[in-house]
Amino acid sequence: MRLFVQTLEGNVRKWFKGLTPTSIDSWTVLEITFMRQRGEKRDHLYYLTEFGILKKRPRESVIDYNKSFNKIYKKIPADIKPSQEIAKVAYVKSFEPHFAMMLRESRLTTLLIIQDVAIDIEGNMIFIEKINLEPE
């Protein structure tokens, strides 16, 4: 840990040196404490804006997109977080029109279920594409 302290500068070093000797007993505790104190601190509206412009990229898998979508959604503070209903609409609209239509038609109840169905739809589309490409 002494080597780690040597890499810190300014207020971060002062904060670290101010910790009681027994407050950090593992690297995991250090990481959690450090990130809470000095981690990413962005304006809350930044996350709301990011959430509003999220779109699934053409070659991005639905699983990867779900991770990105959920990560941003979870970072939005509760007092400005869009409701589940708004999140569902934003999620569906972030796909290309044909895919979004399939999700809308399924009339699903929760964001988690919609995300699971989106994974299934993608899998079905990949399967159909492979069948169509196979020689007869």
Which residue reads 């779900």 in tokens? Answer: 66
Mind listing the pLDDT tens digit for each residue in 64-73?
A: 999 999 999 9
Rounded distance between C-alpha atoms, residue 35 and residue 133, angstroms: 49
Q: What average pLDDT does this structure show over 40-55?
A: 79
Quote the tokens at residue 62: 């639905």
Which one has a higher pLDDT value, 17 or 57? Answer: 57
* pLDDT at residue 19 greater than cutoff 70: yes
Domains of the chain, with CATH numbers?
2-38 (no CATH), 44-133 (1.10.1200)
